[in-house]
Amino acid sequence: MHLIGIDVGGTNFRVGVFSGLDKLFEKRFEADFSALCRTMPDEAQALILSTLATAISEALADFPEAKGIGIGFPGFIDPQSMVIASSPNLPNLLDVDLAGPLSEKFALPVIVENDALAAAYGESFFCGISSLIYVGLGTGVGGGLVLKGAPFPGEHGVAMEIGHLIVEEGGRPCGCGNCGCLEQYASASGVSKSYQEATGRKLPAKAVAVLAAQGDEAAVSAFDRAGATMGRALAHILKVVDIPHVVIGGGLSGSWQLMEQAFRQRLEADLVPVLRGKTNVAVSKAKDSAGMLGAAQLAGNQL
């Protein structure tokens, strides 16, 4: 059975066509959703719909036999209606229904799921691990929990919104309205901010990673801070859910080795003794296909 999976990011999105684990098609589209969402909510919805519809049409032209469409979207998705209630990184987006209009247009079932939860499900499917926590380190920090083979969205689609766990009292202001959230430190933008605070220079996280690998003190410290805040947040989460597998994905996971030591130190120190040394933390094996694959499989589950 052929299924279409879409992974939406802040500045681009990717469309894949899958048959089981096999990826038959993949295409990346540039689309600045942050810019689209600076307009009025109705207009933003129309722009997002038309942008996604163009890409779906392209995939369907090659794979007209596709049976369903899954979309991973960065926001709080109502688990019943699949309406995107809001998105901390796309502030103008309110109560947007993508599933209804797209399903009508293409006469196919469409599901919408939080991007990190879709990636968690994709990773679980790819690795055959039935319970895991997925941490997506990208522009922000997303999280997803798969429990005994089922994605766990929570009552309001907010479960595992770990990027907004507060890790620094009175810390940097966040798009969610609070201060000191994990994603202000452990995301690509967080690493960039830590480096800028120390040096006055604004560099993208990728450039900070290059400097850190060369031993630059401020850059090393920016990644240490990302790792330590992650370790603190994960220790809290593991004490709540006691899941043995944690998967690190997202664009910044390519620099995981730069934050891993600080992460493990903080995690082990903060955990209760019975959990120390028992958490398997690894970089995503489905890599940047996890979100598309998970969204596609979740669509397939509805059939």
Under the binding rule (CB under 5 A), the answer on residue 225 touching Zn ion is no
| Beta carbon of residue 158, minimum distance to Zn ion (angstroms, whole number) | 12
Q: Which stretch binds Zn ion (CB under 5 A): 63-71, 175-183, 220-228, 253-261?
A: 175-183
296 vs 68: CA distance, rounded Å: 7
| DSSP symbols for 229-272 | HHHHHHHHHHHHH--SEEEEESGGGGGHHHHHHHHHHHHHHHS-
Under the binding rule (CB under 5 A), the answer on residue 174 touching Zn ion is yes
Nearer to Zn ion, 55 or 159 (CB): 159
Whether 185 contacts 168, CB under 8 Å: yes
| Beta carbon of residue 162, minimum distance to Zn ion (angstroms, whole number) | 10
Nearer to Zn ion, 178 or 221 (CB): 178
Under the binding rule (CB under 5 A), the answer on residue 160 touching Zn ion is no
Under the binding rule (CB under 5 A), the answer on residue 176 touching Zn ion is yes
102 vs 264: CA distance, rounded Å: 43
Q: Give me the residues paired with residue 4 across strands.
A: 17, 69
For 3, the token pair is 């299924």
Q: Which stretch binds Zn ion (CB under 5 A): 12-20, 173-181, 201-209, 258-266?
A: 173-181
For the four alpha carbons of 142, 134, 6 and 114, in that order, the dihedral sign comes to negative
**What separation in angstroms does the CA of 219 have from each of 68, 196, 262, 265?**
44, 9, 14, 19
Nearer to Zn ion, 51 or 114 (CB): 114
Nearer to Zn ion, 161 or 224 (CB): 161
For 259, the token pair is 């934050």
| Beta carbon of residue 87, minimum distance to Zn ion (angstroms, whole number) | 12
For 198, the token pair is 């120390």
| Beta carbon of residue 82, minimum distance to Zn ion (angstroms, whole number) | 23
Strands 84-86, 141-147: parallel, antiparallel or unpaired by DSSP? unpaired
For 106, the token pair is 């293409």
Q: Which stretch binds Zn ion (CB under 5 A): 117-125, 159-167, 218-226, 231-239?
A: 159-167
Nearer to Zn ion, 164 or 225 (CB): 164
| Beta carbon of residue 141, minimum distance to Zn ion (angstroms, whole number) | 9
How would you label 38-63 residue by residue, b for 16+ Cβ within 10 Å and e otherwise?
eeeeeebbebbbebbeebbeebbeeb
Nearer to Zn ion, 181 or 233 (CB): 181
Under the binding rule (CB under 5 A), the answer on residue 164 touching Zn ion is yes
Nearer to Zn ion, 101 or 171 (CB): 171
| Beta carbon of residue 139, minimum distance to Zn ion (angstroms, whole number) | 13
Binding mask 82-111 for Zn ion (x = CB under 5 A): ------------------------------
| Beta carbon of residue 80, minimum distance to Zn ion (angstroms, whole number) | 25
Whether 298 contacts 113, CB under 8 Å: yes
H/E run at residue 245: strand 245-249
The count of chain residues that interact with Zn ion, using the rule CB under 5 A, is 5
Binding mask 178-197 for Zn ion (x = CB under 5 A): x--x----------------
| Beta carbon of residue 177, minimum distance to Zn ion (angstroms, whole number) | 7
254 burial (CB, 10 Å; 0-12 / 13-18 / 19+) is middle
Strands 12-19, 22-30: parallel, antiparallel or unpaired by DSSP? antiparallel
- Chain positions contacting Zn ion, by CB under 5 A: 164, 174, 176, 178, 181
